[in-house]
Amino acid sequence: MKAYFFDFDGTLALLDESEFLIDYFKSLGDFLKMDPVKLSKEITSIIREITINADGFRSNYDRFMESFIRRFGGDTREWEKTFKKFYESSYFKRLSCHFLPNDKVITFLQERKGEGNKIVLATNPVFPKSAMIERLSWIGLKAEDFALITSMEDFHYCKPDPRYFLEVCSKISEKPENCVMIGDDDEMDGACEDVGIKFIKVSSL
C-alpha cells in the first residue's frame, strides 16, 4: 500500500456525533442570531442536496453557498465573511469539548506515515479547510500531518459517492488499489470498495 485515508468523526476523533451536531447548530444559531432548529433542518437538507446532485464541475462549497443563499437570502461574499468569522470564533472553538483523540488510530496513522505512505484526512468534505484544521487541533493533529485534507472548497463530491474516493486518488496521484480507507461507517466510508480501495473498519484495527 502507498496511501492511507483516515475519516475524522468516529475514527481519528471519538465523540457522540448526535450531541455534537445539536451543539454545533446551537453555536451557529447563537453566532448568527438565528433559530438553530431551522438551521439544522435547512443545512442538513443542503448537504443531502449537494451529495445527490454533484455535477463534477462546481465545488461542494460553491453548490452549498448557492443553495444556502437561495434559502436564506443575502450576498455570497458577506456570507463567506460571516462563516469565516464563525470558524475563527469561540462559538466554534468551544465545540472542542465533544472530541477526544482516538489514540490507537492516531498511533496507527503515525506508524504508516513513518513508513513513507501518503496520509489523507478523508473526512466528508462539508466543512471549509480552515474549520477542519481547527478540528484537527482538538485531537492534537495539524495540517502538516497530512498530504491532503479533503475540504468543501477543493472537492466536488461527498461520501458515499464513489467519485469522492476517485477524486482523492487523483489529487495524490495514486491508483485505488494502492490505497486503504480507515473509517467507522460501512455506508459512507465502505463505499470506497466500489472503486477498488480497501476498506478497514476502525473497530478492527
Distance CA 176, CA 192 (A): 9
How does the average pLDDT of the chain come out, rounded?
Answer: 97
Exposed/middle/buried for residue 16 (C-beta within 10 Å: 0-12, 13-18, 19+): exposed
3-state per-residue secondary structure call for 98-135? HCEECHHHHHHHHHHHHCCCEEEECCCCCCCHHHHHHH
Mean pLDDT of 172-186: 98
Reply yes or no: is the peptide bond before residue 160 cis, omega within 30 of 0: yes
The residues that bridge with 4 in the sheet, in sequence order, are 119, 180
Please check the confidence at residue 98 and state whether its pLDDT lies above 90: yes
Element (H, E) at 88: helix 76-88
Distance CA 28, CA 100 (A): 21
Please check the confidence at residue 140 and state whether its pLDDT lies above 90: yes
Please check the confidence at residue 59 and state whether its pLDDT lies above 90: yes
pLDDT of 3:
98
**pTM as predicted:** 0.96
Share of the chain above pLDDT 70, in %: 100
Mean pLDDT of 191-195: 98
Contact 166, 176 (CB under 8 A): yes
Assign 184 a pLDDT band (cuts: 50, 70, 90): very high
- Pairing verdict, β 118-121 and 148-149: parallel
Assign 1 a pLDDT band (cuts: 50, 70, 90): confident
